[in-house]
Amino acid sequence: MPLQIAVIGGGINGVMIAWQLAQAGARVTLLERGALMGATSSASSKMLHGGLRYLEHGRLHYVREALQERAWWLAQAPHLAEPLKLVFPIWHDDPRGAWMLGAGLTLYDFLAHGSGLPDSERLRAAQVLAEHPDLRREGLRGGYAYWDARMDDHALGLWAADQARAAGVEIHEHAAVDRIDTQGLVVNGDTSRTYDRVVNAAGPWAAGLLVASGVSSSHALQWVRGSHIQLKRPCTSACVLQAGADKRIVFVLPWQGGSLVGTTEVEQEGPEHQGPTDAEVGYLLGIVNRRLITPFTPADIVARFSGVRAIVKSANSASQASREAAVERRGRLVSVFGGKWTTARALAREVAKLTLA
Ligand X SMILES: Cc1cc2nc3c(=O)[nH]c(=O)nc-3n(C[C@H](O)[C@H](O)[C@H](O)COP(=O)(O)OP(=O)(O)OC[C@H]3O[C@@H](n4cnc5c(N)ncnc54)[C@H](O)[C@@H]3O)c2cc1C
By the criterion CB under 6 A, which residues form the site for ligand X? Answer: 8-14, 31-34, 38-41, 43-47, 49, 176-177, 201-205, 209, 226, 263, 307-309, 339-342
Q: Which is nearer to ligand X, 27 or 179 (CB)?
A: 179
Q: Which is nearer to ligand X, 104 or 203 (CB)?
A: 203
Q: Which is nearer to ligand X, 209 or 334 (CB)?
A: 209
Q: Which is nearer to ligand X, 33 or 332 (CB)?
A: 33
Q: How far is the CB of 179 from ligand X (least distance, A)?
A: 9
Decide if 33 contacts 356 (C-beta within 8 A).
no
Q: How far is the CB of 42 from ligand X (least distance, A)?
A: 7
Q: How far is the CB of 130 from ligand X (least distance, A)?
A: 27
Q: Which is nearer to ligand X, 128 or 287 (CB)?
A: 287
Q: How far is the CB of 124 from ligand X (least distance, A)?
A: 29
Q: How far is the CB of 45 from ligand X (least distance, A)?
A: 3
Q: How far is the CB of 133 from ligand X (least distance, A)?
A: 26
Q: Which is nearer to ligand X, 21 or 129 (CB)?
A: 21
Q: Which residue is nearest to ligand X (CB)?
A: 11
Q: Which is nearer to ligand X, 34 or 118 (CB)?
A: 34
Q: Which is nearer to ligand X, 29 or 91 (CB)?
A: 29
91 burial level (CB within 10 Å; 0-12, 13-18, 19+): buried
Q: How far is the CB of 142 from ligand X (least distance, A)?
A: 26
Q: How far is the CB of 212 from ligand X (least distance, A)?
A: 8
Evaluated on CA atoms 284, 48, 24, 37, the torsion sign reads positive
Q: How far is the CB of 226 from ligand X (least distance, A)?
A: 2
Q: Which is nearer to ligand X, 43 or 63 (CB)?
A: 43
CA angle 57, 59, 62 (to 5 degrees): 145
Task: Please give the Cα distance from 210 to 329 (Å, whole number).
Answer: 12
